[in-house]
Structure 1
């Protein structure tokens, strides 16, 4: 590591971060410049590794304005051996009060793409050397106008009556199929989207859709089309047989309202849910692999995104 310099940025050095070519330009990500302008990225939470004045590693921790939690590692790129990346992370962790979660963004189907593996293996190895442990993966999918499957007519769909009905159904659903934006909900608002979605999705309750079978509620879906961009924020089932038709229903409602794209995030291990989304016309956009501090590793985080 001869002549290696590791340090945080100072105000006005945004171009130094950007001087490193983007190793995965196919990923849809908020640019560093836009993140600085929006207040989520800050120079003191951004670190670089330089060799002979050239950026060979960069790491940026993100914390949206008003967030109740700690920053998480959102951008980490490495054009050097994993040991350099680990040294960069350790130096930053010491300054940040301990390691925090790292969300490693990957293009869709990254494990089957040798050219992507060649890029991501070094930073992932560096994260492990710095005391972070891989804990899971979430997949983002997008529907962009593909014809929707026909429905059987078995189920009826209606608006939720009120917040009490939504909360009663949420309490009965142990593991929702789709939770889009749960990381931001927890980091910014301290809200668990799986158990208390209305604390984050504060639009009209009548926008929530309930699927019924012979009058009995069997599925619930909430969107966030007015809050940011059209997405399925919450989808949970009491009967798995309704999954495909409830997905088609919520996309149809959003498309009728003008949506040209609908997003959905799903845990990668939910293969049945992923298959149904793809049958509905969704296509994978990217994955995010979660790394967390190893057990027993001190962390400055009180509430972090998950």
Structure 2
């Protein structure tokens, strides 16, 4: 690696980052130029590895303006051996005062796609060599107009009365099924969407729907129609049997408001939740594998996953 140059960009070198072809153009993500314009990407937080005058590795850490935590690695592409990528990451980590979180984005069903595996093996191996460890996976799913399942008639749904009613139900739900944008809620607002969703979802109480079984609340869903994408932001249950119908109710409400696409994020290990999303008409858009420093994230770092509010 004697001919290798590793350094951050300086202002005006944006084209150097873009000179490396996008290895996964099918991924829907914020472009580097748009991220710079929005203030999330900065040249000093963007590093390149150059060999023989050609960019063979690039890494861009992002932090939205006004965010509460530390920047995280959002773009990392490598057209070289993993050791080159590891050297790039180590150099940046040293400049940052320690390693940062990395969200490795890839197309849906990436494990079954040899052409995707061929692209991501090197950067993932480089992350491990640089001392990062896999800590989970999040899936983003999208509904785009598929007919919704019919209601069984067992449950009724109504808007939440006020914040007090929402918070009381949230307090009775140990582990929500769906938390879309939870990483951005932490990164920008320092908010735990699972326990304090109204600190992030500031729309009217009517954006929330409560599912009732014989008058007893059994589920709660919060939607957001004015984010970057209409989304099911929070879905929590007290009875798993209501999951499918409450999901359909949330999508129905958003579609009635004009949404042509609805986004929902779920942890990959939540197999039953993912299956219900798919039965409701959602299809996987992408995956994000979370890498953390082996000793855990630095004290000033909080999770993030995207240069847009929907995460």
Band of TM-score, shorter chain: over 0.9
- Residues 8-54 of structure 1, C-alpha deviations (whole Å, 9 max, x = no match): 00000010000000000000000000000000000000000000110
Residue number in structure 1 paired with 2:139: 139
- Residues 204-243 of structure 1, C-alpha deviations (whole Å, 9 max, x = no match): 0121100000000000000111233200000000000000
Structure 1 CA distance, aligned partners of 2:48 and 2:141? 31
Q: SS at the partner of 1:6? A: strand
Q: SS at the partner of 1:172? A: coil
Residue number in structure 2 paired with 1:48: 48
Give the TM-score normalised by structure 1: 0.98
Judging changes above 3 Å, is the alpha-carbon distance between structure 1 residues 87 and 300 closer, same or farther for their aligned structure 2 residues?
Answer: farther
For the Cα contact (< 8 Å) 1:180–1:266, is it kept in 2? yes
Residue number in structure 1 paired with 2:223: 223
Residue number in structure 1 paired with 2:273: 273
Aligned: 1:303 with 2:302: yes
Residues 155-304 of structure 1 mapped to structure 2, 5 A cutoff:
155-295=155-295, 299=298, 301-304=300-303
Structure 2 CA distance, aligned partners of 1:132 and 1:301? 17
Structure 2 CA distance, aligned partners of 1:263 and 1:83? 36
Q: Which runs of 5+ in 1 are unaligned?
A: none
Residue number in structure 2 paired with 1:90: 90
CA offset at residue 304 of structure 1?
3.6
Structure 1 CA distance, aligned partners of 2:93 and 2:300? 11
Judging changes above 3 Å, is the alpha-carbon distance between structure 1 residues 91 and 171 closer, same or farther for their aligned structure 2 residues?
Answer: same
Runs of 4+ in 1 over 6 A off after TM superposition: none
For the Cα contact (< 8 Å) 2:148–2:281, is it kept in 1? yes
Give the aligned CA root-mean-square deviation in angstroms. Answer: 1.1
For the Cα contact (< 8 Å) 2:178–2:236, is it kept in 1? yes
Structure 1 CA distance, aligned partners of 2:292 and 2:111? 20
Structure 2 CA distance, aligned partners of 1:298 and 1:28? 26
Structure 1 CA distance, aligned partners of 2:250 and 2:37? 34
The number of residues matched between the two structures is: 305
Q: SS at the partner of 1:288? A: strand
For the Cα contact (< 8 Å) 1:100–1:301, is it kept in 2? no
For the Cα contact (< 8 Å) 2:71–2:301, is it kept in 1? no
Q: SS at the partner of 1:275? A: helix
For the Cα contact (< 8 Å) 2:141–2:285, is it kept in 1? yes
- Residues 156-194 of structure 1, C-alpha deviations (whole Å, 9 max, x = no match): 000001111100111111110100000100000000000
Q: SS at the partner of 2:278? A: helix
Structure 2 CA distance, aligned partners of 1:303 and 1:286? 21
- Residues 83-126 of structure 1, C-alpha deviations (whole Å, 9 max, x = no match): 00000000000011111100000100000111100000000000
Q: SS at the partner of 1:265? A: strand
Structure 2 CA distance, aligned partners of 1:300 and 1:204? 34
Q: SS at the partner of 2:153? A: coil
Aligned: 1:102 with 2:84: no
Give the TM-score normalised by structure 2: 0.96
Residues 5-24 of structure 1 mapped to structure 2, 5 A cutoff:
5-24=5-24
Structure 2 CA distance, aligned partners of 1:193 and 1:102? 20
